[in-house]
A = this chain, B = another copy of it.
Amino acid sequence: MSLLSQEVPIELGERSYRIVIGGGLLGDSLTYGALPRANAALIVSNTTVAPLYSSTLKTALAGRYSRILEVHLPDGEEHKNWQSLQLIFDVLLEHGCDRKTVLFALGGGVVGDMTGFAAASYMRGVPFVQVPTTLLSQVDSSVGGKTGINHPLGKNMIGAFYQPLQVICDLDVLATLPAREFSAGLAEVIKYGPIADMDFFDWLERFMDDLLIHDGGALAHAVRRSCEIKAAVVGQDERESGLRAILNFGHTFGHAVEAGMGYGVWLHGEGVSVGMVMAAEMSCRLGLVDSVFVKRLVALIRRAGLPIRAPILDSADNAGRYLQLMRGDKKSEAGEIRFVVINRPGEAVVMSAPDALVREVIDTCCQ
């Protein structure tokens, strides 16, 4: 393993694991030295990532597993469904894979979510390892144990909470990530500042330019600190009953943007970006933060190459359309929309808000 790699321990009792962060990890057989022995491993990837990294991973694992199987799923959120999941089960069963078989998720969030759910469900649970290849999945999917697939009537509606054995964040693979997707990942990195750690926010203001040129040291710090903050939050609320909801800062408005524009038009991180701007605006109007804070957040988001203006979803009744979409979200309860607002910089709370205020925020941010 690279001497420069860093580790984030995720403490979850008997389901504890480590996130390893650094350069050159994916192709180094030492990276996998602590994994349990098994007869077989299955690398799950997609048709975009597999040609870039699958053979490297396979070679690194070759000394450890006598049989290494592969399955390449079609790429894209629209394939995060039962049909793709079934491809994983088919390979496992056609090759008689037993309960010790280790699954490797090589790809972004979609591959990670599907592989995790397949691992949770195959023979009621087999071990799996995350090898996230996007910035978003490195800072977001590495912690939390959320796995699942979409249903025609809703995203991530079918799944499991299931923890990996290990997460390997190889920073070198980010070099092949399109700039737009890299920026989208930065949205989730920026998020951790306002909700939990303004020192990290200060750091991001100082080192945003280094991140944008993929400086290894800056990337390692950003990924590590994001994972640490998420781990601290999730560690207090593994099953998402309360506190964990603060991780959804920017997501209530953001999901409305994603859904309203049609999924895939705006990237998730882009929706979160304008969602954070809107949630900060709401916090300001509630008197919780001042306009200086809002301007700092907006400036940082813009520097990351992300949108700061919310789109018009309906020219006749734009705010009404936003409200309608937010009421239909999975996280709303009995039609009441839950917003994550900044209580003070570095601290978030979840609350509802009167429609009139929400409309003001939407009108301001969509101008």
Which A residues lie at the B interface, using CB under 8 A?
39, 82, 86, 89-90, 93-94, 96, 98, 120-125, 146-148, 151, 153-154, 157-161, 239-240, 328, 330, 333-334
Find out whether the CB atom of A157 lies under 8 angstroms from the CB atom of B93: yes
A123 and B93 in contact (CB under 8 A), knowing A82-B86, A86-B82, A160-B160? no
Give A94 Cβ to nearest chain B Cβ, in Å.
7
Q: Which residue of B lies closest to A145 (CB)?
A: B124
User: What are 17 of the A-B contact pairs (CB < 8 Å)?
Assistant: A82-B82, A89-B157, A89-B158, A93-B153, A98-B333, A121-B121, A121-B148, A122-B157, A123-B157, A124-B146, A124-B147, A124-B148, A124-B160, A125-B160, A125-B161, A125-B239, A160-B160
Given contact pairs A82-B82, A89-B151, A153-B93, A334 touches B39 in the complex (Cβ within 8 A): yes
Chain B residue numbers with a CB within 8 Å of A328 are: 96
Instruction: Give the complex CA separation of A4 and B338 in angstroms.
Output: 46
The residue on B at minimum CB distance from A82 is B82
A334 to B357, CA, bound (A): 63
Closest B-chain residue to A159, C-beta based? B124
- Which chain B residue has the least Cβ–Cβ distance from A148? B124
Q: Which of B96, B158, B240 contacts A122 (CB 8 A)?
A: B158
Which of B39, B94, B159 lies in contact with A121, CB distance below 8 A?
Answer: B159
Q: What's the minimum C-beta distance from A115 to chain B, rounded to whole angstroms?
A: 14
Closest 10 CB pairs of A and B: A93-B153, A124-B159, A121-B158, A124-B161, A93-B154, A89-B151, A124-B160, A93-B151, A89-B158, A123-B157
Expressed in whole angstroms, the minimum distance between the Cβ of A343 and any Cβ of chain B is 25
Q: How far is the CB of A53 from chain B (nearest CB, A)?
A: 28
User: Which residue of B is nearest A158, CB measured?
Assistant: B121
Name the distance in Å between A178's Cβ and chain B's nearest Cβ: 30
Write out the residue numbers on chain B whose beta carbons fall within 8 Å of the beta carbon of A82.
82, 86
